[in-house]
Every structure is written in structure tokens, then in C-alpha cells.
């Protein structure tokens, strides 16, 4: 349990946009974090799918430490070696031909929406500006990206929203005929919706969607901010579906915690961004792209091969949990090391017990889904530990007579 200093931590000078857990974290290594009372937690949140190599991984730390001695920032008025290197690594390892670096996920999606509009204006004319997105999606908190987000709770109070967005139900075969329209310039989607509940696109639906986009010269834009960088067992989740997008956005796992985002685009589409059309002061600076180079190199060379196997192991264990607690667990889903446990009751009870009684950190994804985003460097032993904790928590809640 927590002493007064922790539970009383109030952050009075910080805007109350987050209902924070009552823990103050001061240190991390691998799959573990420590609070300011030196209590150790097994962390299956990875800073919301960001610290994919675990906390403070040596490969990234060493690379950034040596870059810190050389140059921190110079702006995009100059060539930056680590930025060029990271762009090369991203194009070598994806469908993409060209990269634009920015600072966050929202900014990557914002830029992708601008790119799609500009591309469509050139090839289809100014009437084609509409971007189709899906219910339960999450694309960020800027005005355009919260408009793209298919959840009214994210948009509440921010009207008037940005014109030019249309929402369709996710995974609905029947709705696909509404994708193509005179005004449609692009479709933006998460291959697996993260914040919206760990909902994965069905193969048939996504392949059909990709087909419709190709037929109608509509850009297929995948938001891989959460699913990318090895999370699902492939470097990018679209690879699981045998499709090829036109645009992909990245952020979270790209820099191991250093703030970086990226727009990845095919040559054909990237041409719409000529000099002077889009920009950023910090985007892709020497420090964050050095972190990115070290991160992607380590993931591709040493981590990716084990993610699929660990993901299968986690999935089997979650299936067993569902069988054992049918009154509590409704469904388990996801891919690789991105997994959701949909409950009949609130996820918050499970999170709280796991955190306070067992010192295990897991995430919610909406009100009823417990989300697991362990570092990709986790082990079967750590997975066993977290699953044992979930069993204990579910048993306790069952005994207390609550149905979770």
C-alpha cells in the first residue's frame, strides 16, 4: 500500500487532463519501474506501447549519450545524418519510399491528413477532400485528429470540428460500399484499434477495403502509432494482412520514449509535399532520430523474431484465463504483444487490485477492456507472473461477489 506522500501527490500546477494513477515513478529498467518509495512494479504498459525495448535499454541509452556530446538540435534547414539513416531504415523495412519526421502521433496523423488532401487536390481536384475513418478509432488530440477520431467523448466541447470527415462502422462488410465517393480522398484506420478496445480488423474486411481504395484511387492510410515497431509480431501490423498502404503513421514505439513521429508514404503520394508545404522545428532532430535508429535496429535484428512466439504464449494463457473465469471474461483478443481482455464489468477494479496489491501495471482500453502492452523484450516468466496476478485478482473479485 501507499504512504501519505504518494497518495497525496496532487500536481496542483498541472492541468487536470489525466486521471492519474496515484503513483509517482522515478526509475525504470527492462520490464520494471520503481516509485518514489522504492516500490518495484512489473510494467505491462510500456508507457502506452512506447518503451518497446523495455525501460532505459542500453542500446538506445548508449547511442543517445554519445549523440548528446555532439549536437542536439539544428533545425530542418540542414541535413541531419541520423535523420537520413532512420529514414533509410524505415523505407528499407516497409512499403514506404519517403519519410517526414515530426514530434508525436497526433502530429503524424495531422500531417498525413494534409498530405492526403494535397495529393487528392492535385490528382482529383479540390472537391475530393473527405477522409473516411471508423467508429471507436483513436487518432490524436489536435483539432483535425480528434475530428478523425470516431469517438464522441474525445470531441465533446470542441465544436466546430474540422470539416471533411466521415465515419463508418469498423469491420462492417456492408458499410464498405460507402467508402468510395466523389469526395473521398483517403481512408485512415488502425489495423488494430488500441484506445478503442483492442479491436482487430478482420482479414477479409481489410483486404476488401484495400481493394476498394486501389480501384478508386483513394489513399489507404494506416495509423500504426500503437501497432507498429514490432508490437504485433511483424515490424508493422499491416504486414499481417498482405496489404500495401499508401501512407503509414508512426510515433510511440519509434523512439523508445524520445518524442518522435513519422509519416511514411509511397513516392507517388509523397510528391504532393513540395518544399515549403509542411514543416516542424523539432521534428526528426539529432537526438530523437538517434534514438530511433538504435530502436529500429535492435527490434529488427534482435527482438522481432521472438515477439510472435511470446505473443502466441500470451494468447494461449489468456484463453485459459477466459475458460477459468467465464463470468468475468467476455472475450480475449489482439495480436502479438498487444492484447485486450474484455470484461463483463469495469476494468478499473482489476487495474487497481493488480497495481495496489500485486504491483503489476496494466492498462485500460475503454471502460471494460484490460489492455496488455508488455515490452517486446518480456519473457515467458514475466507473462506467467502477470497471468497469475490476473487469476488472483479475478478470484478475489469473484469472492467479493462482484461480477467483473
Ligand X SMILES: *Cc1c(COP(=O)(O)O)cnc(C)c1O
Residues that bind ligand X (CB under 6 A): 104-106, 109, 138-140, 190, 194-195, 223, 225-226, 251-252
| Dihedral pair phi/psi, residue 267, rounded to 5° | -50, -50
CB of 394 to ligand X, least distance (A): 27
Assign 3-class secondary structure to the chain: CCCHHHHCCCCCCCCCCCCCCCCCEEEEEECEEEECCCCEEEECCHHHHCCCCCECCHHHHHHHHHHHCCCCCCCCCCCCHHHHHHHHHHHHCCCCCEEEEECCHHHHHHHHHHHHHHHHHHHCCCCCCEEEEEECCCCCCCHHHHHHCECHHHHCCCCCCCCCEEEECCCCHHHHHHCCCCCEEEEEECCEECCCCCEECCHHHHHHHHHHHHHCCCEEEEECCCCCCCCCCCCCHHHHHCCCCCEEEECHHHHECECCEEEEECHHHHCCCCCCCCCCCCCCCHHHHHHHHHHHHHHHHHHHHHHHHHHHHHHHHHHHHHHHCCCCEEEEEEECCEEEEEECCCHHHHHHHHHHHHCEECEECCCCEEEECCCCCCCHHHHHHHHHHHHHHHHHHHHCCCCC
Q: Which is nearer to ligand X, 283 or 387 (CB)?
A: 283
Q: Which is nearer to ligand X, 139 or 234 (CB)?
A: 139
Q: Which is nearer to ligand X, 128 or 284 (CB)?
A: 284
CB of 119 to ligand X, least distance (A): 21
Does residue 397 contact residue 353 with C-beta atoms inside 8 Å? yes
CB of 249 to ligand X, least distance (A): 7
CB of 300 to ligand X, least distance (A): 21
Reading the block at residue 385, the C-alpha cell is 507472473
Q: Which is nearer to ligand X, 231 or 317 (CB)?
A: 231
CB of 195 to ligand X, least distance (A): 6
Q: Which is nearer to ligand X, 99 or 387 (CB)?
A: 99
Q: Which is nearer to ligand X, 139 or 353 (CB)?
A: 139
Chain position whose Cβ is nearest to ligand X: 105
Give the list of residues 6+ apart from residue 353 with CB closer than 8 angstroms, or none.
393, 396, 397
Roughly what angle, to the nearest 10 degrees, separates helices 347-358 and 380-399?
110
Q: Which is nearer to ligand X, 17 or 69 (CB)?
A: 17
User: Cβ atoms within 10 A of the Cβ of 147, count?
Assistant: 24
Q: Which is nearer to ligand X, 194 or 389 (CB)?
A: 194
CB of 110 to ligand X, least distance (A): 9
Q: Which is nearer to ligand X, 231 or 355 (CB)?
A: 231
Q: Which is nearer to ligand X, 228 or 353 (CB)?
A: 228
Amino acid at each position: 500500500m501507499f504512504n501519505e506522500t504518494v497518495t497525496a501527490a496532487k500536481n496542483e500546477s498541472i492541468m487536470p487532463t489525466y486521471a492519474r494513477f496515484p503513483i509517482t515513478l522515478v526509475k525504470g529498467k527492462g520490464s520494471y519501474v520503481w516509485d518514489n518509495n522504492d516500490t518495484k512494479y512489473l510494467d505491462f504498459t510500456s508507457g502506452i506501447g512506447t518503451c518497446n525495448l523495455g525501460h532505459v535499454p542500453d542500446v538506445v541509452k548508449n547511442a543517445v549519450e554519445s549523440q548528446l556530446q555532439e549536437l542536439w538540435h539544428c533545425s530542418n534547414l540542414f541535413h541531419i545524418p541520423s535523420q537520413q539513416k532512420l529514414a533509410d531504415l524505415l523505407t528499407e523495412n516497409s512499403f514506404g519510399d519517403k519519410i517526414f519526421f515530426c514530434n508525436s502521433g497526433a502530429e503524424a496523423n495531422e500531417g498525413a491528413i494534409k498530405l492526403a488532401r494535397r495529393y487528392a487536390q492535385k490528382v482529383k481536384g479540390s472537391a475530393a477532400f473527405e477522409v473516411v475513418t471508423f467508429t471507436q478509432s483513436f487518432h490524436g488530440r489536435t483539432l483535425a485528429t480528434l475530428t478523425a477520431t470516431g469517438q464522441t467523448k474525445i470531441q465533446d466541447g470542441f465544436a466546430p470540428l474540422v470539416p471533411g470527415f466521415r465515419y463508418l462502422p469498423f469491420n462492417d462488410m456492408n458499410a464498405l460500399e460507402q467508402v468510395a465517393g466523389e469526395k473521398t480522398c483517403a481512408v485512415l484506420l488502425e489495423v488494430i484499434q488500441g484506445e478503442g478496445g483492442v479491436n482487430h480488423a478482420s482479414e477479409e474486411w481489410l483486404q476488401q477495403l484495400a481493394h476498394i481504395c486501389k480501384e478508386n484511387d483513394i489513399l489507404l492510410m494506416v495509423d500504426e502509432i500503437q501497432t507498429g515497431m514490432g508490437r504485433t509480431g511483424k515490424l508493422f501490423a499491416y504486414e499481417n494482412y498482405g496489404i500495401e498502404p499508401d501512407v503509414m503513421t508512426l510515433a510511440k514505439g519509434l523512439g523508445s520514449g524520445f518524442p518522435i513521429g513519422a509519416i511514411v508514404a509511397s513516392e507517388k503520394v509523397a510528391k504532393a509535399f513540395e518544399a515549403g508545404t509542411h514543416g516542424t522545428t523539432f521534428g526528426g532532430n539529432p537526438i530523437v532520430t538517434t534514438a530511433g535508429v538504435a530502436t529500429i535496429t535492435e527490434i529488427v535484428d534482435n527482438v522481432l523474431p521472438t515477439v510472435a512466439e511470446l505473443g502466441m504464449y500470451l494468447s494461449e494463457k489468456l484463453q485459459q484465463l477466459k475458460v477459468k473465469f467465464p463470468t468475468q471474461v467476455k472475450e480475449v483478443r489482439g495480436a502479438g504483444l498487444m492484447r485486450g481482455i474484455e470484461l463483463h464489468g469495469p476494468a478499473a477494479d482489476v487495474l487497481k487490485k493488480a497495481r495496489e496489491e500485486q504491483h503489476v501495471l496494466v492498462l485500460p482500453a475503454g471502460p471494460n477492456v484490460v489492455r496488455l502492452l508488455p515490452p517486446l523484450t518480456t519473457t515467458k516468466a514475466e507473462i506467467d507472473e502477470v497471468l497469475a496476478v490476473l487469476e488472483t485478482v479475478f478470484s478475489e473479485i469473484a469472492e467479493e461477489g462482484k461480477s467483473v
